[in-house]
Amino acid sequence: MAHTWSPEQYLGFGDERGRPFVELTARLGAETPELVVDLGAGPGTLSALLAARWPGARVLAVDSSAEMVARASGVGAITAQLGDLRSWEPPGPVDVLVSNAALQWVPGHLDLLPRLVGMLAPGGWLGIQVPGNFDEPSHTIRHHLAEEDPYAAHLRDVAHPASHDAATYLRALQGLGLEVDAWETTYLHVLHGPDPVFEWVSGTGARPTLQALPETLRPTFETEFRARLRKAYPDDGHGVVLPFRRIFAVAQRPY
């Protein structure tokens, strides 16, 4: 079963999810771009920041989720479009191309970089950001639980995110002839409420897993998943600390 996305659940941590986007796009040096594209734009709230920064630009917010595109329609001065970043074609040379927290869902996405770079106008800018926390308990607990019976039979082919380190993206983009700035940041998100880490991952990395389970097994999986996450991320009375490593790369195509 193909999974779907919930804009409301995703936006439950909108501030925390938005910070890497702001850090990424702050390093884009474009001054007066004509065409700006956000690939994997989600609900469009962050794409609207691009329209506010470059009010003279045409800003396209592209996402493969019909639910996200519906939510993005009418958000700020952007145009929301349904499209898969693996096959979507821009209407012309792109001056700024952003892919924020999307490429990790594409297996072998380094092979996609030449195609993305090929969309850029001379002097155009590319900004990508992916999570780099897949060795953290928020992911490993889900992975190990999914391998246990009776869940394993239902979860063998479920999509799961993956990424590379900053140096890998830097070298890949340099090899395509771009000037590259790559770095990483680890945020310490302080989350509040009952089972906040479960709520966080349910809107992103764990969502395909949870949706793939039959209704008869999902409640028991969730109960055990919540319990293991609470043990891994205890609340000392000041909230739960969720370390979140993010990988960034900003590159410019030569004129």
Structural domain includes residue 1: no
Structural domain includes residue 224: no
Structural domain includes residue 109: yes
Q: What is the pLDDT along the chain (255 residues), one digit of tens a residue?
A: 455 544 454 444 557 778 999 999 999 999 999 999 999 998 899 999 999 999 999 999 999 999 889 989 878 799 999 999 999 999 999 999 999 999 999 999 999 999 999 999 999 999 999 999 999 999 999 999 999 999 999 998 888 889 999 999 999 999 999 999 999 999 999 999 999 999 989 877 788 899 899 999 999 999 999 999 999 999 999 999 999 999 999 999 999
Structural domain includes residue 53: yes
Structural domain includes residue 144: no
pLDDT digits (tens, 9 = 90+) for 170-213: 999 999 999 999 999 999 999 999 999 999 898 777 888 998 99
Structural domain includes residue 141: no
Q: Is the peptide bond before 150 cis (omega within 30 degrees of 0)?
A: yes
Structural domain includes residue 209: no
CATH number of the domain enclosing 92? 3.40.50.150
pLDDT digits (tens, 9 = 90+) for 11-32: 445 577 789 999 999 999 999 9
Has this prediction a pTM greater than 0.95?
Answer: no
Residue-range definition of the domain harbouring residue 108: 7-136+159-190+242-252
Looking at the structure of the chain, the number of domains it has is 1
Structural domain includes residue 216: no
